[in-house]
Chain A
């Protein structure tokens, strides 16, 4: 391995880390603003012009709060819980192709930390680990509300991962590759959403459930479970949980734009080349991610929470059969096109 590659990847990792955290921080600001606008309010506007320093103020506040560990809590697990949540939220972004190749200092720089050939499997694996952060945190708190939140989170994750996985398989069928880079490059002409609107819908709904976002925010529903799995958490441990949630929202918006909306591809791409193309591609990708984040937040401030049995009903009886039928139809069409009949 040459040193330049190592430096290049290290810089990319550092950049990704900063961008994910920065994006997560400003998503909290944007979410509060959006919530305010939807409710005919102004939102945070005191810290800096238009309140743009609000995330920094929030961060400082989080750090200065008392870091409290309940006496009956399992200390080791209590500390490791938010760590796992944050860790998994951050490492998902390693396989995401952020843009076309950049040409700098006489080198072709791929804007992807690791182009592993099982990108989708990696993403799903990491997301599945993510629930451990919530589960361990809820269990270690030694509090019934936290435990309820943790149990809900795990059952919800298991239920929705199935339908999510099946709808991702349809994309894999379509592109014939598990690598996210291949999936993106194949969408340079027509985006996958054209072929797979149903799969997208299912994937999107399941992603909301996996993110514990409204209307599926049962693990932390304030009105029933005090704070859900993070009831006992305070200070930056709570901050890490909340941060992890926003970071995974950012990452899953990126995944959704890769799988269904062509990643960094944009119409009229063939007119550009080189670094211009790379920068425009990154911009296009960023816009797509932003739009997804916007829609996810918009949904949160529109729709009330599901009841738990409704959640299970939707997951097992509607989305899973629907995604299986979609998979079957896609498979049949592909088989027919390839002349297997």
Chain B
């Protein structure tokens, strides 16, 4: 067991001037399950492959435990990796696939046997030990790949999108199993995914990456409740947070509110709770442009009330059984690149009768409003 530490790590390919990874500082604690999440091309896989020793480090230091591993061969790092496409040895049966590295490390035969069988039991693949990979289903292959990592009893597990080749149902199952597995063996794990649901459900902590830079590092709840910038706000949560161009105003009494939309479409939301405290520290707030973020579940049907509401036209309704997702066109809405959905989304009770094209007034839970600076895209603190 060991921790993993990136210390001002950079990655550049060849003579390129732009960095794939810039000044990465990240401390993966011992026994921790850390998820690296971000859109494709954000550098998360490169970071993982640097831990594995499959990518060279251009600049900076990487530590596994107390050892600087920059110049260490993959085989000397005592890590195990699970690949997206399994990477099983096709000419070996399941047992030999799992035993391969143990044989290379000259373990005694009974010990190899014991470890492989223990891992196979944990993963429920004991019946397939004599089979070749091509005789297994996708889910079974992924278990073998996990088992191959498990038998190593390494210092660190590296997982590179291990679920993305499985179908949706199997993915949810295996997701839970990997989480359970980690609770059993407690090996430090770095898990790379582009799927924020996987990140939220599996990670002890999540590092959101974009353009080679860690945008925010924190527990799933921290990321959800306090996204530090627009990117994280739009990336975490499904459906994505809704964003609006707005103006921040302060009354003479000091109460802050945001105004979304212009003229006849203008709606005022009086800030409450946490947002108010955050804004209170801002000296020059009056009339200042901001971006307001509201999560779809913080909308509700307004009824007759008009205070703290937004008004939009219904474009699409998706019934999910327990709730419905309503996509609206609300004046002033903006969509950042990291958002999953276009336009604005509201999660409303399943029993509400909502027609397409209908103008809808929605009440906003003003204590859950997020306010961002449009210039820096950072959250107001």
A and B: interacting chains: no
A interface with B by C-beta (< 8 Å)? none
B residues in contact (CB < 8 Å) with A: none
